[in-house]
Structure 1
Amino acid sequence: MGTSKKNRQHKHEAGQRPWRDVSTFAGGPGQKWTRWASWGVVGGLLLVCAAIWVAFPDRAPTPAAGPAPATTTKPSAPASASVCPATVESTEIPQAGPADISWTALYGNAWPTSAAIGPTKTVDGIAQCFQHSPAGAALAAVNIIQSTRTVDTVTAQKILATQFVQNAGLETATAELTKTYATQPPEGRVWGRVVGFKVESYRPDQAVLLLVEYWPQRGQYTGYDVTVAWVDGDWKVQLTSDGQTSRNGDITVDPTGFTRWETPATTR
């Protein structure tokens, strides 16, 4: 679902998600060279074997040592794989924000948390561990995105490494975020007011959430979808293959078409 030219201009003026507008890095200049180099190595080995056969026709040639078999190294599991306790599981779609909602505020940005639903632990400065439920998925999505927006480059990189699904899109986003945040300190970033969410789909292993923000300077509600996956006992944000948070970008949202967290006193 797209946005109008006018809305796109509003987004640009408001400085939304500077790290989401990323370039696509498909392939690279080294791939063709690698293939041709491989064929050169094979050709060279054939010539060596032929020379040995000519010099010693009555002896079988000694096979040239082939390349070592390829091995796949599995990345080490992030800290959340072992630190999150067992959680209550539910598939119930929440119709309201958490009963015990509280707000974390930083540089004028604020987002909801819940002692019961998450985050329930802080490991190496990163808040994590969310309930295995639609409510937990929604809180994980808003917490991970908002905390990434409002920290310095080093902390943002740490969040990306531990609370995002490790895929090619993440590599692209990490490179773009590092470049952008180097010249844009946290206090200089402008975001909409976090106001609500909508569970668009839910499975125990994956959920898609619409996160809604309000822009008081133009009286507009906008939303963007975020996919989270249940990995190693916690929810993690899953970026698109080209490093985007959202598949569709920002859309205008009906004020009655989502579930409100609650209006934080820090942003009234």
Structure 2
Amino acid sequence: MVASPGGPSPNVDIGPLTWTALIGVSLPVSATHGPTRTDGLHAEGFSHDKAGAVLAAAHIALRLDPHIGSTVLETTISGQVTGEPGDIEALRTRLLGAYQQLASSLGGGGGAPVGRLSAAPRAFRVAVDGDSAQVWLVVEGAGPEGSVQFKVVALHLTWANEDWRLHAPPGGSWTSQATALADISGYQDLLKGSTP
């Protein structure tokens, strides 16, 4: 697997995209590359190629945000996350704990979404080697005084059971996998070539 985003080409034929809302942000959808199965808050069915890996990374990663609610968190971790058992359990514990804190401070709970997601997928780089993929997903969020902030997160995926699965990060936290970016130059912009 390529260890840094300097290696893979940013030019991936991801095709025309449409966008679907998920508690405050928009996620890209492709008729060719997925997801092909959605039921509100869940998304599955991605193509076994670079474009499918990118879309799977975006959809799965954003469904691992504590704001999404414990019901979706549990389903996503159980069905779409792979890796070392200790890392998966640490991820589950961290996310469910964060969800409980959000539910207490913002009101709500009972497994339902709380608040809204604060970052949306904006750009990417990807490398695929057979059934293994590395996606550097750039997310865009609001910064101070109305500015825009970018962060790139390195995500490792494996093709298993006819779909992409996201590897739990070491120790259950993506903090060490994320880096702030000044802009998205050098990454393929998801907004280019997509349809509103």
**2:160 paired residue number:** 231
In the alignment, which residue of structure 2 is the partner of 1:4? none
Alpha-carbon distance, 1:105 to partner = 1.0
1:95 corresponds to 2:11: yes
How many aligned positions are there? 175
CA distance in 2, matches of 1:253, 1:132: 31
1:195 to 1:123, Cα distance in 2 relative to 1, 3 A:
closer
Rg: which structure is higher? Answer: 1
Q: Which residue of 2 aligns with 1:250?
A: 179
- The answer for the alignment partner of 1:208 in structure 2 is 134
The equivalent position to 1:179 in structure 2, one of 83, 97, 105, is 97
Contact map agreement 2:132 2:158 (CA 8 A) in 1:
yes
2:42 maps to 126
Residues 220, 122 of structure 1: alpha-carbon distance in 2 compared, 3 angstrom cutoff: closer
1:189: Cα distance to partner? 4.6
Instruction: Answer whether contact 1:96 1:261 (CA < 8 A) is retained.
Output: no
Counterparts of 1:109-124 in structure 2, within 5 Å, are: 109-122=25-38
Question: Compared with structure 1, are the counterparts of its residues 98 and 254 closer, same or farther at alpha carbon in structure 2 (3 Å cutoff)?
Answer: same
Partner SS, residue 101 of structure 2: coil
TM-score (norm 1): 0.57
Q: Measure, in 2, the Cα distance between the counterparts of 1:173 and 1:103.
A: 28
How far, CA to CA, are the matches of 1:250 and 1:125 in structure 2? 27
> How large is the Cα RMSD of the aligned pairs?
2.9
Instruction: Could you tell me which runs of 5 or more consecutive residues in structure 1 were left unpaired when the two chains were aligned.
Output: 1-91
Candidates 8, 14, 21, aligned match of 1:105: 21
Alignment TM-score, normalising by the size of structure 2 = 0.76
Distance 1:251 1:198 in 2: 15
Q: How far is the alpha carbon of 1:124 from its aligned partner? A: 9.8
> SS in structure 2 opposite 1:250?
strand
8 Å CA contact 2:63, 2:72 repeated in 1: no
Structure 1 runs (4+) deviating above 4 angstroms are: 263-266
Structure 1 residue 204: Cα displacement: 1.3
Cα pair 1:239 1:246 within 8 Å, conserved: no
CA deviations on 1:123-144 (whole Å, 9 max, x unpaired) are 7963211100011111100011
Q: CA, structure 1 residues 157+247, in 2 after alignment: closer, same or farther (shift >3 Å)? A: same
The residue identity in structure 1 corresponding to 2:187 is F
